[in-house]
Amino acid sequence: METKAIGGYFELEIPFGKPLHGGGNCIELNSGRNCLEYILRVKKYTKIYIPFYTCDAVLEPINKLDISFEFYDIDNNLEPIFNYNLIKDSEVFLYTNYFGIKDDFIKNKIQTISGNLVIDNAQAFFSKPIENVDTFYSPRKFVGVSDGGILYSNKRLQGNFKKDESHSRMSHLLKRIDLSAENGYSDFGENEASLEHQPIKQMSNLTKRILSGIDYEKIKEQRRSNFELLHQHLKTENLLKLELDMDSVPLVYPFRTKNADIKNKLHSDKIYCATYWPNVAEWCNEDTNSYSLAREIVALPIDQRYCKEEMNKILYKINN
Amino acid sequence: METKAIGGYFELEIPFGKPLHGGGNCIELNSGRNCLEYILRVKKYTKIYIPFYTCDAVLEPINKLDISFEFYDIDNNLEPIFNYNLIKDSEVFLYTNYFGIKDDFIKNKIQTISGNLVIDNAQAFFSKPIENVDTFYSPRKFVGVSDGGILYSNKRLQGNFKKDESHSRMSHLLKRIDLSAENGYSDFGENEASLEHQPIKQMSNLTKRILSGIDYEKIKEQRRSNFELLHQHLKTENLLKLELDMDSVPLVYPFRTKNADIKNKLHSDKIYCATYWPNVAEWCNEDTNSYSLAREIVALPIDQRYCKEEMNKILYKINN
């Protein structure tokens, strides 16, 4: 290893702490989709079953490796409508831990009934991996980093991967503080796009460092209490029946509603709800559950940046 | 004020905390030199006395405002060789809190004998301002921000200043973490140069936010203990007689030596010591103290990034 310099100009002030993920089976890469590529390559799968209701980034490694895939639909509990007996030895089933609230289903059900399994925890950064189940994460959905993917697997690919660099992908994270959310938005799009079609790389030093300086306990509490506050007021209206497990840390509050106006109304008040996922309507017919879920679930922000005040503002806007 | 957005992409993860400086007389600007400009303008001084032994950035506002100036020399204790009775009502005397170790002199001596006074605390970020003495700071000498100046004054300039933007001045701070000190060095030079000839602006949101998320108590302890460790081993050799006041937080350990090789020797081992200041040799004759001080003081790094291990490495390199 190269000697590190002492003295001279400073680096950005980021606290030193402990990363959320680690251990012998943890592999730090450059993106969630590249974690999936890693799994498909190391396990030499010939086919993957994926939900209609997921992010199209999942298709990137599948197409790249030219692996067959088959879509499945999910039910109103966000659980697969699928005959797991169909999965052959050389095939794998991908399940998404939707909104970070499907921990119980994963732990107590799917892992006991499915054969080869991959858990996509891109929406569940805080969920613990299950032993011997390939599991991947995408930290930038939960915290302010520009890239990075985390994979747990008991098998390793041969060869050394180049280290990713993040410094030129940081402008949206900086502009959001320095200027405003709106001013950094186009940079956000460009920086996200720069993650497409990248080879598997090691996670950058910058992303690693940021991830190791975060107070995760605080984030966990804030997300859970914001979620619970919205749930308390919206659960009767919410067409999605849900319950927050003891340890789950949600991505957003998924509010399923037939009221198509809510998202636009919130948007006009600068309350931005991500769409999960724009590609679903292109992938499946109107008669699938996935189609309806993608159209009807409004992903209300409940993350660590916000507290009671913002949650009440969101509730007010929904009800008025 | 504009409504802040809720939701959407993240901002950089920076903890929220308390800034070191604040209060009614505290004015947050874009650089130390612009704090000096502010003082010169608000107090309408016609002439300023400045040390030979200081940074040439001090001349920028003086030249800009076309104010007369006169240099003075300092003695071997870094204290002015000057007859303070010369200072007229419309004139001001600038003293630099060298290396952050002249607090005692400032508090107990110079402020009682000098007339109009400006304290340049660019090298003393942690030193408290003295009531009714115009005092300015430059945070980026102590912590990882790209710009900013802090001024304490009991008078305010009229008019609204534009807000500075820092997001495009961050690359060296990011590259130092992401790549290496060497890889960010040229960006550091460019970003520093971008602070030249700027109008007075308000401190940027990004710099404010970074400055409010720093654990200053930890920095204080680390800097002091590193300083004491070097001092313990170097004090007999050190031609600069010094003592660290109870509350002082030093910038560097100023090691005055006739051994002209030390700095280069350290440099070749990637131990980088800043030169305070390259311009001094151009400003004064070889027979001034300032000339010798600038040539002989090696500014050993003792900042918060380092601990015992690095200090011992520095000591080893000096002695071998």
CB contact under 8 A, A181 and B5: yes
Give the pLDDT mean for A261-283: 95
**Has residue A114 got a pLDDT over 90?**
no
The stretch B284-300 carries a mean pLDDT of 97
The pLDDT, as a whole number, for residue B44 is 97
Residue count of chain A: 320
Distance, CA of B7 to CA of A303 (rounded, Å):
8
Does residue B223 sit at the A interface (CB-CB below 8 Å)?
A: no
Architecture of domain B26-211: 3-Layer(aba) Sandwich (3.40)
Interface test with chain A among B138, B140, B172, B174, by most A beta carbons within 10 Å: B174
The Cα–Cα gap between B252 and B301 comes to 5
- Predicted confidence (pLDDT) per residue in A28-82, tens digit: 999 999 999 999 999 999 999 999 999 999 999 999 999 999 999 999 999 999 9
Give pLDDT tens digits for B114-149: 679 999 999 999 999 998 999 999 999 999 999 999
What is the tens place of the pLDDT at every residue in A124-158?
999 999 989 999 999 999 999 999 999 999 999 99
Give contacts of A310 with chain B, Cβ < 8 Å.
6
The chain-wide mean pLDDT, for chain A, equals 95
Give one DSSP letter per residue of A200-213, joined into a string: P-BPPHHHHHHHTT
Closest CA to B289 of B50, B24, B103, B53: B53
Give me the pLDDT at residue B261, please: 93
Q: Where are the domains of chain B?
A: 26-211, 216-319
Residues 6+ apart with CB under 8 A from B221: none
Instruction: Give the pLDDT of residue A2.
Output: 66
What are the tens digits of pLDDT across the range B163-197? 999 999 999 999 999 999 999 999 999 999 999 99
- Cβ pair A176:B306 closer than 8 A: no
d(CA A110, CA A133): 11
pLDDT number for residue A159: 86
pLDDT at B55: 96
Interface subset of B 122-151, CB within 8 angstroms of A: 140, 143-145
List the beta bridge partners of residue A70. Answer: A49
Residue B68: is its pLDDT beyond 60? yes
Chain A, residues 171-200, CB within 8 A of chain B, namely 171-182, 184-185, 188
Is B15 part of the contact surface with chain A (CB cutoff 8 Å)? yes
Q: A216-319 maps to which CATH number?
A: 3.90.1150.10
Question: Which of A106-110, A312-316, B177-181, B189-193 has the weakest average pLDDT?
Answer: A106-110
Cα of A277 to nearest chain B Cα, Å: 14
Q: Which residues, numbered 287 to 316 in chain A, qualify as contacts with chain B under a Cβ-Cβ cut-off of 8 Å?
A: 300-301, 303, 305-306, 310, 313-314
Contact B184 A9 (CB under 8 A): yes
Comparing A3-7, A124-128, A260-264, B163-167, which segment has the lowest mean pLDDT? A3-7
| A:B CB pairs within 8 Å | 180
pLDDT at position A1 over 60: no
Instruction: Assess whether pLDDT exceeds 90 at residue B95.
Output: yes
Whether residues A7 and B140 touch (CB distance < 8 A) is answered with: no
pLDDT at B3: 79
Helix axes B181-193, B171-178, angle to 10 degrees: 180
Alpha helices in B50-167 (DSSP H): 59-65, 103-105, 111-113
Which residues have C-beta within 8 Å of that of residue A131, sequence separation ≥ 6? Answer: none
Contact A36, A30 (CB under 8 A): no
The pLDDT of residue B255 is above 60: yes
pLDDT in tens, A176-226: 999 999 999 999 999 999 999 999 999 999 999 999 999 999 999 999 999
Q: Provide the token pair at A11.
A: 């680096």
- The Cα B254–Cα B239 span in angstroms is 10
Best B13, B168, B191 residue to mutate vs chain A (most A CBs within 10 Å): B13
Distance from CA of B30 to the nearest CA of A (A): 13
CA distance A94 to chain B (A): 26
Contact B144 A171 (CB under 8 A): no
